[in-house]
Structure 1
Amino acid sequence: MKDGPDIARIGALMGDPARANILSALLSGKALTATELATEAGITGQTASSHLKKLMEGGLLTQAKQGRHRYFTLAGPEVGAVLEAVMGLAARKGHLRTRTGPRDPQMRAARVCYDHLAGDMAVRIFDSLQKRGFLAVSTDKGGLALTADGEGFVSGIGIDLGALTASRRPMCRACLDWSERRNHLAGGLGAALLTRFTESGWLRREPAGRIVHISPKGEAELKKLFPVP
């Protein structure tokens, strides 16, 4: 057996259609029960329990008990990043789901990718930050870092940089957007921006699912804040 990480096990865990549906449902960042995940995957509760156990043992999911319910979430942002990257690869290679409908344009426009914004607006934000010199390549900070001008800009829109710096999580990370096939912003800053825009009333998340609605005012404000040269 070759040395190094066992990607075959991760691939097998993600490759089962039912487990793939479970993982995709949890990309909303919300905790879901086994019953809810069984519905999302189109399987029985007993079958869902078996799949959830395997995903837990593989380190892709965590669970929390509250009363008589168990709630499942992705094990962390790195799991969400891998799922979004695999979706991007599948889209580029033509491996697309046959089911289409009116929700598809909404998913492409704006959605949640675990805990940060994805879709067309998120790609615009990333492009704006990069082209205006607010993001720079860094060899010691996970690939991306805020420049001095970027720190000033981010602080100016109400983001607490001190809290992000104190966190062990990378502040800035590029995440490949499956629908746009370009990068959007993940990491601590990506999560903080989603929270900031939601609290401002510019974005509204659907109670169930990953779709994010941008208000007319929110779209105007975001385009003003993040012009693309």
Structure 2
Amino acid sequence: MNAYPNISAIASLIADPSRAVFMEALLDGRALPAGELAYMAGVTPQTASNHLAKLVEGGLLVVERQGRHRYYRLASHDIAFLIETMASIAPPVSVRSLKQSDQLQQLSSARTCYNHLAGKLGIALCDALLQKGYIEDDGQNKDYHIPTKGYEWFESFGIDLSHRSGTRRAIARKCLDWSERRFHISGLLGDQLERRLAELGWTRRKTGSRAVEVTEEGKQGLSNMLGIVL
């Protein structure tokens, strides 16, 4: 008997095309109703409900009830990390329309990966922080190391990492970017970077999409602060 955890149970849940669409749609951290997820996958509400029930039972999604409505979201950061990692090794999509091409370009440029930034923007942030010495990579660990000068700079930039103690969450996790095939930053630091840039008005999420727009103020600010040219 194989003593290894039964990964086939999780793989079979994600393997269904409709369920895969649900998981990908929830990667921006939102909780969405079954009807909206059904529309995205092109299935009936009843079919969507059956699929969602299996994902909840399998521990991949959680459901939140608000009155008569049910909203679904990913169960944890680990689930988001799993989906993004799978996307990084999956074959590229075949672009068949201008709309699809535009969507792919927007997502590749800048997007949310659960609660942190990915795409070209996420990679540029990671590269700049490494170059400045605010994070360090020894090439062996799955997390970036933050030296003292890094903590000092993040604090000056309005990023609070003070509640890092007492939590099992990674501070600066390497997350493989599916469009760039390189690492961006997830974990607590990734979440705080996304929050702070949005708070400053340097980025804003596009309605109904994981795509993120960098504002003109943001382009100027990123250039001045970190030497990032977009």
| Alpha-carbon contact 2:177-2:184 (below 8 Å) kept | yes
**How far apart are the structure 1 equivalents of 2:79 and 2:94?**
21
Deviation (angstroms), 1:30 = 0.7
Query: Structure 1 stretches (4+) deviating beyond 6 angstroms?
Result: none
| Alpha-carbon contact 1:32-1:73 (below 8 Å) kept | yes
Q: What secondary structure is seen at the aligned counterpart in 2 of 1:101?
A: helix
TM-score, scaled to structure 1: 0.92
Matched residue, 2:93: 96
**How far apart are the structure 2 equivalents of 1:95 and 1:135?**
31
Identity across the alignment (%): 40
| Alpha-carbon contact 1:126-1:184 (below 8 Å) kept | yes
Task: Give CA-to-partner distance per residue, 1:112-166, whole Å, 9 cap, x none.
Answer: 1011111101101111112332223479x85322111111111110111213445
**How far apart are the structure 2 equivalents of 1:134 and 1:62?**
35
Quickly say closer, same or farther: Cα 1:39–1:181, change in 2 above 3 A: same
Q: What secondary structure is seen at the aligned counterpart in 1 of 2:145?
A: strand
Q: What secondary structure is seen at the aligned counterpart in 2 of 1:19?
A: helix
Matched residue, 1:205: 205
| Alpha-carbon contact 1:142-1:172 (below 8 Å) kept | no
**How far apart are the structure 1 equivalents of 2:94 and 2:192?**
31
TM-score, scaled to structure 2: 0.91
The one-letter code matched in structure 1 to 2:198 is T
After the TM superposition, which residues 167-186 of structure 1 pair with which residues of structure 2 at under 5 Å, given as runs?
167-186=167-186
Matched residue, 1:42: 42
1:114 and 2:114 are equivalent in the alignment: yes
Quickly say closer, same or farther: Cα 1:203–1:166, change in 2 above 3 A: farther
| Alpha-carbon contact 1:169-1:187 (below 8 Å) kept | yes
| Alpha-carbon contact 2:143-2:170 (below 8 Å) kept | no
Structure 2 unpaired stretches of 5+: none
**How far apart are the structure 2 equivalents of 1:125 and 1:32?**
29
Deviation (angstroms), 1:95 = 3.9
Matched residue, 2:15: 15
- RMSD after superposition: 1.9
Quickly say closer, same or farther: Cα 1:180–1:42, change in 2 above 3 A: same
Task: Give CA-to-partner distance per residue, 1:80-113, whole Å, 9 cap, x none.
Answer: 11111111101xxx34244432222111111110
The one-letter code matched in structure 2 to 1:188 is L
Structure 1 unpaired stretches of 5+: none
